[in-house]
Amino acid sequence: MFEKLEAVEKRYEELTQLISDQDIIANQNEWQKYMKEHASIEDVVLKFREYKKVKSEMDEAEELLKDPEMKELAEAEYYEDKEKLEKIEEELKILLIPKDPDDDKNIICEIRAGAGGEEAALFAGTLYRMYCMYAERKHWKVDVLNENETGLGGYKEITFMITGKGVYSRLKFESGVHRVQRVPETESSGRIHTSTATVAVLPVVEDVEVHINPADIKMEVFRSSGAGGQHINKTSSAVRLIHEPTGIVVECQTERSQFQNRDNAMRMLRTKIYEMEKSKQDSELANERKSQVGSGDRSEKIRTYNYPQGRITDHRIGMSIYQMENFLNGDLDEMIDNLIAADRAERLKGDEE
* Domain residue spans of the chain: 2-95, 107-208+291-349, 212-278
- The pLDDT > 70 percentage for the chain reads 88
Looking at per-residue confidence, does 152 or 306 come out higher?
306
Task: Specify the 3-state DSSP secondary structure of 141.
Answer: strand
| AA letter at 189 | S
Average pLDDT rounded to a whole number, residues 189-213: 82
Which pLDDT score is estimated for 37?
87
Average pLDDT over residues 325-348: 91
Q: Give me the half-sphere count of Cα atoms (radius 13 Å) on the Cβ side of residue 336.
A: 17
The band of 283, judged by pLDDT with boundaries at 50, 70 and 90, is low
Q: 156-165, 212-221, 229-238, 289-298: which has the minimum mean pLDDT?
A: 289-298
212-278 CATH choice from 2.40.40.20, 3.40.50.720, 1.10.287.70, 3.30.160.20: 3.30.160.20
Average pLDDT score over residue span 138-154 = 89
Which residues, including other chains, have CB under 8 Å from residue 71's CB and lie 6 or more apart?
64, 65
Dist. CA 204–CA 269, nearest whole Å: 10
State mean pLDDT over 49-56.
92
pLDDT at residue 196 tops 70: yes
Whether the per-residue pLDDT at 306 is higher than 90: the answer is yes
The pLDDT value given to residue 352: 55
Q: What is the mean pLDDT of residues 243-268?
A: 86
Model confidence at 268: pLDDT above 60? yes
For residues 265 and 241, the answer to whether their CB atoms sit within 8 Å is yes
255 compared with 139, residue with greater pLDDT: 139
pTM (two decimals): 0.69
Q: What is the DSSP letter of 177?
A: E
Phi, psi (5° rounding) for residue 98?
A: -55, 130
Phi-psi region of 65 (alpha: psi -120 to 50; beta: other; left: phi over 0): alpha
Can 107-208+291-349 and 212-278 be said to share one CATH topology?
Answer: no
- pLDDT recorded at residue 310: 94
d(CA 42, CA 177): 37
**What is the pLDDT at residue 188?**
67
Integer-rounded Cα Rg, in Å, for the chain is 26
Mean pLDDT of the chain: 85
Model confidence band, residue 180 (pLDDT cutoffs 50, 70, 90): very high
CATH pick for 107-208+291-349 out of 3.40.50.150, 3.30.70.1660, 3.40.50.1820, 3.40.50.720: 3.30.70.1660
pLDDT at 298 over 60: no
Average pLDDT over residues 313-332: 95
Lowest model confidence (mean pLDDT) among 15-29, 78-92, 95-109:
95-109
Q: At what angle do helices 71-95 and 28-64 cross, to 10 degrees?
A: 150
